Amino acid sequence: MKNSISNHSEIMLPRLKNLIFFLVFLISAVISTSSYHPLDSLTPSELNQTQTLVNDYFSSPPQNVRFHYVGLDEPEKSDVLSWQSSSHTQKIPSRRAFAIVRVNSKTHEVIVSLSNNSIISDEIYNGYGYPLLNFAEQLAAGNLTLSYPPFIASIQRRNLKLEEVVCLSFTVGWYAEIKSSRLVEVMCYYLNGTVNLYMRPIEGITATVDLDQMKIVAFRDRAVVPVPKAEGTDYRSNSSVQDLVKQVGPGFTLDGHVVRTFFDVGEYGFGLSTVTLEPLKDCPENATFMDGYITSQDGSPVLVPNIICIFERYAGDIMWRHTEAGIPGQMIREVRPEVSLVVRMVAAVGNYDYIVDWEFKESGSIKVSVGLTGLLEVRGTIYTNKDQIREEVYGPILAENTIGSNHDHFINFNLDLDVDGVANSFIKNNLQTVRALGNTSPRRSYWKVNSQTAKTESDARIQLGSGATELLVVNPNKKTKVGNFVGYRLIPGVITGPLLSSDDYPQIRGAFTKYNMWVTPYNKAEKWAAGLYTDQSHGDDGLPVWSLRNRKIENKDIVLWYTLGFHHVPCQEDFPVMPTLTGSFELRPTNFFERNPVLKPSQYATDPQI
């Protein structure tokens, strides 16, 4: 999120619809429109231009080019702010694209000048980790397994129908072994009476595929485990089996008693997994929809219609109210309904669907919610009842022959808040109990606020839950009339931290989860908390590594990194399809306005209602 928040000390926030200026930054990463703003995402013509320039660049000699990421190479922040302060009279900064491509088993980072129609740079990445998977190679790896004679024999040994088998690709992670190939594990599921394939895993069979060679390099058939029943697992209403099968994708699973850990954004692409929203079901009747584009393996743009919806929400909530009965002969009652503007997208990353809402309120607050729904990742088992289990199975039994795996979800938000300018500071308000001394009061204790301004990155790493803490971003150069720094505070929702040991390999790769909050100086190159190349990464890139520099962050252009998390112990109500589980946080103005911004000056004298 890139929000430039300005102080409206004298001018109250206008009607909710005028809050749309916030959205320019939010939706620019995924919405394709004409270039009205320097941060607009690449248009279809710009994507085609990038594809042509990159293919031409690698055409001599002819080479096999596979695209794994194409996006806007953002202009310098100073150029964007200069353009913005000029009331858009300046020319938009030069447009550039950033592409990650694989050529002859090597990863190339290519920067393309769209303004000058040329390649600016081409660098080969030689570090640990690989680019995110693209859909074409995932599909090819699954099809390769379905035609592999040893696999066909294993399916026949289980008396299963090959035509009812669906095979999906899963990243392999890293557990300190030496790897030199892009590998995926292919695991398979059984339909035969349901489209809820994730509830019918074919346990015991795995194939390892080298994606660059598109070749099966290992195959295992360990044991025959009963496939869970199809009865009671189908969740469809009117959709056809064929349509739903086409929508399945990668997720995460367990291989025996070994956890595999997935980084959905970096390994599969959260944006690539964005899906079309259905009117009246995903979004209300008053929603406006926007299309978007993703990039295919060959670099061409692919239209995904209706990937974002925007709507005003009135759910019967109260924005503020007061009843005054203390005035003789009068009963004063004032109520304002909560009406907010919501921007929604959904990413279907394999078995899970993630619903992301950005809600903009008239009070100036921004609430961010993430809803988890879809299908659990389950394991087949010989057990049909909990009383039969005498071993650690890493999750509860949900149905006959079906174990739901205990698992976590961590979603990290990069929050570039410019509160009334780019020079900001991060303040921790610790609420502390103080003993009352002497005989001045009958009270024995009270509490006070101890404010600490973070000087460096290490000062701003916070594990929430150990005490009462307020988290604020202020502009130390701007004050309200009564002398308070203008600011915004981050209000966490449910607080969740990692349960893995710090030396466990998944935790090494996902070390950004160690703290709920990090603060770093703005750096255009520091974009993804787990690093740019997370597939088989070693944890040597990303937020925890950048923050080791312990840079100064007081009165600087700073970025907040907030991690929202879930520990999920499945229950039977999550089977066979999971009701939405939601977590959230809020960015709330704190001394940003001179008074409550939802009231106009004339409204401060209210008419009594008797």
Q: Which of 189, 352, 383, 488 is catalytic?
A: 352
Q: Which of 40, 264, 541, 574 is catalytic?
A: 264
Pairing of strands 2-5, 407-419: parallel
Say if CB 171 and CB 103 are below 8 A apart: no
Name residues whose C-beta falls within 8 Å of residue 133's C-beta, 6 or more positions apart in sequence. 68, 169, 171, 184, 211, 250, 267, 268, 269, 535
Give me 409's structure tokens.
Answer: 């979800």
Give me 567's structure tokens.
Answer: 């520990």
Give me 475's structure tokens.
Answer: 């502009």
Say if CB 266 and CB 132 are below 8 A apart: yes
Q: How far apart are CA 314 and CA 293, in angstroms?
A: 30
Q: How far apart are CA 507 and CA 513, in angstroms?
A: 8
Give me 134's structure tokens.
Answer: 């693209």
Q: How far apart are CA 585 and CA 520, in angstroms?
A: 20
Say if CB 359 and CB 340 are below 8 A apart: yes
Catalytic residue check, 264: yes
φ, ψ dihedrals at 495, nearest 5°: -95, 125
Q: How far apart are CA 133 and CA 116, in angstroms?
A: 30
- Provide Rg for the chain, Cα atoms: 27
Element (H, E) at 25: helix 23-27
Residues 35, 269, 79, 95, CA torsion sign: negative
Q: How far apart are CA 439 and CA 565, in angstroms?
A: 47
DSSP labels, 546-576: HHTT--B-TTB-EEEEEEEEEEE---GGGSS
The greatest distance separating any two alpha carbons of the chain, rounded to the nearest whole angstrom, comes to: 91
Catalytic residue check, 198: no
Give me 325's structure tokens.
Answer: 């009965």
Place of tokens 């004050």: 479
Length of the chain, in residues: 610
Give me 360's structure tokens.
Answer: 């903009």
Phi-psi region of 156 (alpha: psi -120 to 50; beta: other; left: phi over 0): alpha
φ, ψ dihedrals at 269, nearest 5°: 90, 100
Distances (CA, A) of 127 to 108, 352, 534: 12, 30, 11
Q: Is 18 helix (H, G, I), strand (E, B) or coil?
A: helix
The identity of residue 410, as a single letter, is F
Say if CB 130 and CB 533 are below 8 A apart: yes
Which of the residues are catalytic?
Answer: 264, 352
